[in-house]
Amino acid sequence: MQGAFSQRRVSIPRNIKKFVNPKFVKTIDLAILRRLLERHAASLQALDLAALDADTLETREALLRFFKGPEEHYPEGLLADLHRIAELGSARGLTIITEQAARMGVDLMWSGQAGDLRDQDPKHVAVRVFLDHPQNFDRAADWSALGARSSLAEFVGLEEGVEADLTDETKARFEHDVRALFLADMRGDHCRVGWYDDADEINLVVEHGSPVNTTEVVGEAESWVISFRAAEHATLIYSAATALLKIGGVAKARRAEVAEIFARTMLGRPGFFAAEDAQNIYTLEPVERAGYGYALQAAYDPSIRRVQITEAQIDRVMLDHRSGEERVAHSLIARDTRGGEALARLGDAMRGQPMGGEWRLNYLSIRVEIEAGGSRPSRVAVKVKPPSSVQFKRERFEHTIVTLLRRNGLVHDRNARELAHAAE
């Protein structure tokens, strides 16, 4: 069997190389691995899959050489499969797989399995679920993408209470239009949209192709090129109650277009997210007014033990007289990850120059310690970057973090003007 595998080397994507490590190759059920490889049998020209019937040390050593150094015709599809499986081949991925299986009523037990599924190797489970329960796998991959996304651009709509029309027709229109957008960016025509209701929000995960990754393979007497297209995920989260649309995993230049596709197809309201202030959501003006002694207040919430500002950037903004546009002349960044006194350090660096005017805060990094029932409080790192971005892991405490920002005036109140008029 050793002759069936080439020893030429190629640079495999890091997550795939980490996935098909020696432990995986030495312990995976060869029958299930063969089923994965058989999906690409036509392209595995120099690989004798029948040899996998013999579970010997020689077989597994040859497999390890194969995964370390793919040969000339290493199939693009296999790389894509391994990329997807690797995303869920972890303890976190196993938790998501089992949770989604329970929601779908899917029994993931297989013949000969012993003990609890959570005692199995997450990589082995991910391969089996990918092959035997593709709908469960897709759903788990979607929820993994939703939970992993920490940087979301936000758009606020023209009015609150506009519900999305979730019919097969509107979903098909959205998928058609967003596929065309990614295709125009040379990301291939693969597009799968997962739709999920979560409390009062609608969650969308758009699985699409990435730009083709081309890698040169160098042999002893020749070189050649292989290409593959990995799967990527874009996420959309819409709340009708707040008219807020959060978008992640989409290039900055395309976010407004994706928001418009959602508005047009799902809300029936073209231009719903196209107002001038649609992305003017967050502000650091209260910090600039208070100066370098500003501190976030959290006494209203007993679960918040401490809030510290660990990093701050301030920009000197100048007017370009040629273009008439503002530009950043230079920036200062101050950090204090221990004491949380980044603003005070910034004040020292500014030598008495006040914030405001031509000196504007670009972002704040905040560390929030939250009591969550454990022996130690959970720490959440938050980056507030106006006007439309707050970055933090949203798997837990999202409501706590957003409320903290709102209570401290770092979120624009869209109804403030109307409320002021009513008070008068």
Confidence at residue 115, expressed as pLDDT on a 0 to 100 scale: 53
Q: φ and ψ at 171, to 5 degrees? A: -65, -40
* Residue 335 contacts residue 311 (beta carbons within 8 Å): yes
- Boundary residue ending a domain (131, 148, 165): 148
Residues 120 and 246 in one domain: no
Mean pLDDT check: name the lowest of 29-43, 127-141, 169-183: 29-43
- Boundary residue ending a domain (148, 167, 192): 148
Is 55 domain-assigned? yes
Say which amino acid occupies 225: V
Segments forming the whole domain that contains residue 345: 285-419
Residues 404 and 295 in one domain: yes
Is 211 domain-assigned? yes
Res. 5: pLDDT tops 50? no
Confidence at residue 139, expressed as pLDDT on a 0 to 100 scale: 87
Mean pLDDT check: name the lowest of 58-67, 137-146, 313-322, 331-340: 58-67
Residues 108 and 156 in one domain: no
Give the pTM.
0.69
pLDDT digits (tens, 9 = 90+) for 365-410: 999 999 988 788 999 999 999 998 899 988 788 889 999 999 999 9
Res. 126: pLDDT tops 80? yes
Is 280 domain-assigned? no
Confidence at residue 272, expressed as pLDDT on a 0 to 100 scale: 95
Residues 325 and 391 in one domain: yes
Res. 70: pLDDT tops 80? no
Confidence at residue 329, expressed as pLDDT on a 0 to 100 scale: 86
Distances (CA, A) of 399 to 242, 278, 308, 373: 13, 21, 18, 17
Averaged pLDDT, 83-106: 86
Averaged pLDDT, 8-36: 72
Is 279 domain-assigned? no
Higher pLDDT, 9 or 202: 202
Lookup: tokens for 132:
């035997």
Instruction: Indicate the number of domains in the chain.
Output: 4
- Boundary residue ending a domain (85, 110, 134): 85
Residues 123 and 198 in one domain: no
Q: What is the DSSP letter of 51?
A: G
d(CA 230, CA 86): 12
Is 276 domain-assigned? no
Residues 177 and 140 in one domain: no
Confidence at residue 415, expressed as pLDDT on a 0 to 100 scale: 59
Confidence at residue 11, expressed as pLDDT on a 0 to 100 scale: 43
Residues 166 and 133 in one domain: no
Is 9 domain-assigned? yes
Distances (CA, A) of 39 to 60, 64, 187, 189: 20, 19, 22, 20
d(CA 286, CA 291): 9
Residues 158 and 201 in one domain: yes
Residues 12 and 79 in one domain: yes
Residues 410 and 351 in one domain: yes
Distances (CA, A) of 14 to 18, 21, 201: 6, 11, 34
Helices and strands (H and E) in the chain: how many: 14, 12
Is 424 domain-assigned? no
Is 165 domain-assigned? yes
Residues 65 and 155 in one domain: no
pLDDT digits (tens, 9 = 90+) for 328-347: 888 999 999 999 999 999 99
Residues 78 and 97 in one domain: no
- Quote the mean pLDDT of the chain: 82
Residues 6 or more apart whose CB falls under 8 angstroms from that of 423 comprise none
188 sits in which H/E element: none
Confidence at residue 413, expressed as pLDDT on a 0 to 100 scale: 78
Res. 192: pLDDT tops 80? yes
